Chain A
Amino acid sequence: MRVGSGMSLASFEDAFAHALFAEPREADPTVADLVAQPAFAVYRNTVTKSCIDALQANFPAVTRLVGEEWFRAAAAAYVARERPNTPSLQAYGATFAAFLAGFAPAAELPYLADVARLDRYWIESHGAVDAPVLDATGLVGTDPGVLAGAVLPPHPAARWAWFAESPVYSIWRDNRARATTGGELPWRSQGALLTRRADVVEWTEIDHAACRFLDACAAGRSLALAIDAALDADADANPARMIATLLHAGAVTRLIVPTDQPA
């Protein structure tokens, strides 16, 4: 079989790319003689191994939680379904958490998908665009009436999530730090906040009110409305303390004061 002559470059690449992931017998006849060579496995192995290696690098807490062998088997199943769509492999695995949520062998670990989500948030935070951090003094001196209508956009490197079902934040944090969770882990709801104040990704636990507050800020709501959202989530929340905590963590980039105040 002649490959190349009389065969377009595009058809060759279609057949070759398909054969990288197909069973040898499923390969297009135009590349059958290449697939039959033992050396074809070099390409097949390199492509698959690089994809799995990238996922393992991108999801360290998941890997530690389930063990490398289990992780690589799950990653192989994901690779078979979804190839990288960008050569920047740190971005590979955007849908891995959703994949794990529906992955039957992971059914015993219902929090695994959310742990993957936090691993993913770490990568997004690490590579997010640089922006100033609004510190706690940033609000000092602003008239309270003006402040109520102001907007506090979250920092581009801030990521947060509320986990109502399980202590995902503690599980993720301990596996991320390669620590052993001391004693019994109290089974409760938790929120997580990742920020990048200086050049380091940091994380902290936040409550439901703070998560809803940040959601409202991200949606462009005014401070007054964001506080309402926080109090809707938890009527006992202390807005002043919550805002101080979020500013201290570096969750907000700046204060936008509307120039046109409604009467």
Chain B
Amino acid sequence: MISTLTAGLGLKPQHYDEALACPAAGLWFEVHPENYLVEGGPRLRWLDAIRERHPISLHGVALSLAADTTPDREHLRRLRQLADRIEPVLLSEHLAWSTWRGAYHPDLLPFPRTNEALARIVGNVDAAQAALGRRIAIENPSHYLRLQGHEWDEIPFLDELVRRTGCGLLLDVNNVHVSATNLGFDAAAYTDAFPGAAVMEIHLAGHSRDPALGDALLVDSHDAPVSEPVWALYERLVARIGPRPTLIERDDRLPPFEQLLAERERAHHALVPALAEAA
């Protein structure tokens, strides 16, 4: 099934009618499940209607897998309920934390990649996969801070997480570009070293420059078209690991649907020859 998915789009309520009617081949949509954890009403029926026409991916932002505690059981239960209803083609989360001691911080927060953190996250990914009854893909984060005290580099950390939990990975190429710029590493080398076999999904998004620091600090703001350096990294990645479902993520300063569809076409066309080759 996954091999027939090409490029997808983040689904926004403003584009509902166009998304529902769009006939593009291989198209799928991704939503944040947190927006659909309601008991009933039009929001869920809206998602059901899209699901009847298109595959849906659930991209969670709030499981808080890197928090030093177990994932919220009630949140997992409701997520499972939504997943059983929607039957998502992909289910993903982040290598980050957001809920801590009862408070939800709406962001993806960093942590030192220590042995302790790895053990905690392995346990949390195991618990999440068991509760959800599905393999989940874990996304590489965007980095802004120079954080001391890492005992692991990010790629071996992710590699070990995959090895110990059987989870997959979601490679966000824009996050690589943003992090490489902010922390001063080589984005192409990182992408080349990323464990390709575990990649279940790819994300492409736009970023912005920090208003004060400009090019020295890129922000993963999802409010602009995908940049050319990110497209170049993406094409290089697909050439190496083969086709993977690829999402155009856009959350802010939403352009008309056709404009997103045009970006989506570009990713689709990068994947189609690779799909033919893989067939």
Chain A interface residues toward B at CB < 8 A: 1-5, 7-10, 12-14, 16-17, 20, 33-34, 37-40, 42-43, 46-47, 50-51, 54, 83-90, 125-131, 156-157, 196, 199-200
Contacts and interface: CB of A to CB of B under 8 A. Distances in A.
B120 A43 contact: no
Nearest to A42: B144
B273 interface: no
A2 B149 contact: yes
B210 A83 contact: no
B165 interface: no
Interface in B55-85: 61-62, 66-69, 75
Q: Interface centre among B35, B40, B66, B67, by most A CB within 10 Å?
A: B40
Nearest to A44: B107
Given A4-B114, A42-B210, A90-B38, A83 B45 contact: no
Contacts of A40: 144-145
* Interface bin, chain B: 35 or more
A7 B182 CA distance: 25
B99 A87 contact: yes
Nearest to B103: A83
B210 to A, nearest CB: 7
Nearest to B104: A84
B103 A84 contact: yes
Given A20-B105, A51-B106, A85-B102, A129 B148 contact: no
B33 to A, nearest CB: 9
B256 interface: no
Interface string B135-151: 00000000011111111
Most B Cβ at <10 Å: residue of A2, A38, A85, A87: A87
Interface stretch (B197-205, B211-219, B240-248): B211-219
Nearest to A4: B149
A157 B41 contact: yes
A13 B67 contact: yes
A3 B35 contact: no
B34 interface: yes
A3 B149 contact: yes
A259 B217 CA distance: 70
Nearest to A34: B145
Contacts of B38: 88, 90, 126-127
A58 to B, nearest CB: 12
Given A7-B149, A85-B102, A12 B107 contact: no
B185 interface: no
Interface in B94-151: 97-107, 109-112, 114, 116-117, 120, 144-151
Given A13-B68, A43-B107, A127-B41, 12 more contacts: A5-B148, A9-B66, A14-B100, A16-B109, A17-B105, A39-B213, A46-B107, A54-B106, A87-B75, A88-B35, A89-B34, A125-B41
A37 B144 CA distance: 9
Contact of B68 (A3, A10, A90): A10
Contacts of B101: 14, 17
Contacts of B212: 38
A129 B45 CA distance: 12
30 contacts: A2-B148, A4-B149, A4-B150, A4-B151, A5-B112, A5-B114, A5-B151, A7-B112, A9-B112, A9-B114, A9-B120, A10-B68, A37-B144, A38-B213, A39-B182, A40-B144, A43-B107, A43-B109, A51-B106, A54-B106, A84-B103, A84-B104, A88-B38, A126-B43, A127-B38, A127-B43, A128-B40, A130-B39, A156-B40, A157-B41
